[in-house]
Amino acid sequence: MGLIAVFQALVMTPPLTSPSPTLSRHRISLFNKIQQLLFSAQAWIGVVWLLALLIALPILVILGQILTNSSTTWQHLAETVLKDYVLNSFWLMIGVGLGVTVIGVGTAWLVTMCEFWGSRAWSWLLLLPFAAPAYILAYTYTVFLSFEGPVQSGLRAWTGWEWGDYWFPEIRSLPGAILMLTLVLYPYVYLLARVAFLEQATCTLEASRSLGCGPWRSFWTVALPLARPAIAAGVALALMETLNDFGTVQYFGVDTFTTGIYRTWLGLGDRTGAAQLASVLLLFIFGLLLAERWSRGQARFTKQGHSAPLRPYSLKTWRAGLATLFCFLPVGLGFIAPATVLLQMAIREGAGAWNEEFWTHASHSLILSGLAALLAVILGVFLAYGLRLFPAWSLRLGTQLAVMGYAIPGAVIAVGILVPLGWVDNQIDRFAVATFNISTGLVLSGTIFALLYAYLVRFLAVSFNSVEASLLKIRPSLDEAARSLGKTAVGTLISVHLPLMTTGLLTAAMMVFVDVMKELPATLVIRPFNFDTLAIQVYRLASDERLNEAAGGALAIVLVGLIPVLWLSWQIHRAGPQHVTK
pLDDT in tens, 272-296: 778 888 888 888 788 877 776 776 6
Residue 536 in domain: yes
Q: For the ranges 7-11, 70-74, 126-130, 499-503, which has the lowest average pLDDT?
A: 7-11
Local structure of 557: helix, strand or coil? helix
Q: What is the mean pLDDT of residues 497-519?
A: 86
Check: CB of residue 330 under 8 Å from CB of residue 183.
yes
Sorted by sequence, the CB contacts under 8 Å of residue 456 that are 6+ apart come out as 55, 372, 375, 376, 379, 405
Whether residue 257 is found in the same domain as residue 149: yes
Name the β-bridge partners of 453: none
Q: What is the mean pLDDT of residues 518-527?
A: 87
Of 131, 134, 139, residue with least CA distance to 548: 139
Q: What is the CA radius of gyration of the chain?
A: 27
Q: In the prediction, which pLDDT does 305 show?
A: 46
Q: What is the mean pLDDT of residues 397-404?
A: 82
Q: Which residue has the higher pLDDT, 65 or 408?
A: 408
Whether residue 308 is found in the same domain as residue 395: no
pLDDT in tens, 354-365: 777 888 888 999
Whether residue 85 is found in the same domain as residue 177: yes
Q: In the prediction, which pLDDT does 98 show?
A: 95
Q: Which residue has the higher pLDDT, 216 or 176?
A: 176
How confident is the prediction for the chain on average, in pLDDT?
Answer: 79
How many Å apart are CA 511 and CA 560, to the nearest integer? 11
Whether residue 169 is found in the same domain as residue 233: yes
Q: In the prediction, which pLDDT does 375 show?
A: 94
Give 140: exposed, middle or buried? Use CB within 10 Å, 0-12, 13-18, 19+. buried
Residue 456 in domain: yes
Residue 197 scores a pLDDT above 70: yes
Q: In the prediction, which pLDDT does 214 show?
A: 59
Residue 301 in domain: yes
Residue 198 in domain: yes
Name the β-bridge partners of 310: 579
How many Å apart are CA 418 and CA 357, to the nearest integer? 27
Local structure of 71: helix, strand or coil? coil
Check: CB of residue 411 under 8 Å from CB of residue 525.
yes
Check: CB of residue 568 under 8 Å from CB of residue 131.
no
pLDDT in tens, 437-454: 888 888 888 888 999 999
Residue 36 in domain: no
Q: Is residue 10 very low, low, confident or very high in pLDDT (cuts 50, 70, 90)? A: very low
Whether residue 324 is found in the same domain as residue 447: no
Q: Which residue has the higher pLDDT, 339 or 483?
A: 339
Residue 162 phi, psi dihedral angles, 5° rounding? -120, 180
Up-side HSE of residue 84: CA atoms within 13 Å toward CB?
13
Of 317, 125, 52, 301, residue with least CA distance to 200: 301
Q: For the ranges 30-34, 129-133, 302-306, which has the lowest average pLDDT?
A: 302-306
Residue 529 in domain: yes
pTM of the full predicted structure? 0.81
Whether residue 477 is found in the same domain as residue 536: yes
Q: In the prediction, which pLDDT does 200 show?
A: 64
Residue 11 scores a pLDDT above 60: no
Whether residue 452 is found in the same domain as residue 378: yes
Whether residue 431 is found in the same domain as residue 302: no
Cβ-count burial 228-247 (b if 16+ within 10 Å, e if not): bbbbbbbbbbbbbbbbbbbb
Cβ-count burial 493-505 (b if 16+ within 10 Å, e if not): bbbbbbeebeebb
Looking up residue 428, the CATH number of its domain turns out to be 1.10.3720.10
Range of the domain at 205: 71-347
Q: What is the mean pLDDT of residues 75-92?
A: 87
Q: In 10 A of CB 20, how many CB atoms?
A: 9
Q: In the prediction, which pLDDT does 574 show?
A: 62
Whether residue 333 is found in the same domain as residue 360: no
What total number of domains does the chain contain?
A: 2
Q: Is residue 14 very low, low, confident or very high in pLDDT (cuts 50, 70, 90)? A: very low
Residue 485 in domain: yes
Identify the DSSP state of 302: -
Ranked by mean pLDDT, the top range of 113-117, 220-224, 332-336, 552-556 is: 332-336
Residue 295 in domain: yes
Residue 431 scores a pLDDT above 80: yes
Q: Which residue has the higher pLDDT, 315 or 10?
A: 315
Local structure of 6: helix, strand or coil? helix
Q: In the prediction, which pLDDT does 327 show?
A: 92
pLDDT in tens, 350-390: 766 677 788 888 899 999 999 999 999 999 888 888 888 88
Whether residue 466 is found in the same domain as residue 362: yes
Ranked by mean pLDDT, the top range of 96-110, 214-228, 304-318, 397-411 is: 96-110
Q: Provide the residue count of the chain.
A: 582
Q: In the prediction, which pLDDT does 569 show?
A: 73
Whether residue 479 is found in the same domain as residue 460: yes
Whether residue 248 is found in the same domain as residue 104: yes
Q: Which of 315, 330, 347 is the last residue of a domain?
A: 347
